Amino acid sequence: MAGWTQQRFGNCRHHSRSVYRDDPLRSRTPLEAAASFEAEGVTAVVHTWSGPVRAGLHPATGGDGSDACSGDMLLQALLACAGVTMRSVATAMGIDIVDAELHATGMFDARGTLGVSRDVPIGVQEISVVAELHTDADDATLAKLGELTERYCVVGQSLAQMPKIVIRKRAVL
């Protein structure tokens, strides 16, 4: 991380950890995302950090491939979180990573989401993240890096829980 040394990173982490130990309520960090049905078709426009993204049906479920797939977006969010977490952990451990390539893969069975079969799971299954690192770290150190990345990756840990979905009727103006 440009400008981030192990000592600087450690100092920032130590300060944050001390603050959160002293005042646990300050550690609760809100996150949010917004979307709308402003585009035509079976789509949702998600307002992302880098601009609006129109998500639509995957070609396996009737889409034409012109819209972003939310399953791909899920894997992208996982890679973003895993990558940042991995760099944070590597910095804290003093691991020098010259370069890295990260890839996430997953599989979904369209029969589940299309309601063809109740016996087929709905959702992205068999998710894996592979990180190929250019580093001198030994195998034991890399195994520990992987273990801690899995443990502290917020998006990865969130995949283990089904989100609550609330639908409300909004007054028409």
Under DSSP, the state recorded for 171 is P
CB neighbours of residue 172 within 10 Å: 4
- Residue 72 pLDDT more than 90? yes
Beta bridge partners of 69: 56
* Per-residue confidence band for 171, with pLDDT thresholds at 50, 70 and 90: confident
> Which residues are CB-neighbours of 74 under 8 A, at least 6 positions away?
106, 124
- Tell me what pLDDT residue 162 has: 85
- Tell me what pLDDT residue 9 has: 66
Give the chain's mean pLDDT. 91
pTM: 0.87
Q: What is the pLDDT of residues 117-135, one digit of tens each?
A: 999 999 999 999 999 999 9
- Tell me what pLDDT residue 4 has: 63
Domains annotated on the chain, with CATH:
13-56 (no CATH), 69-160 (3.30.300.20)
* Per-residue confidence band for 47, with pLDDT thresholds at 50, 70 and 90: very high
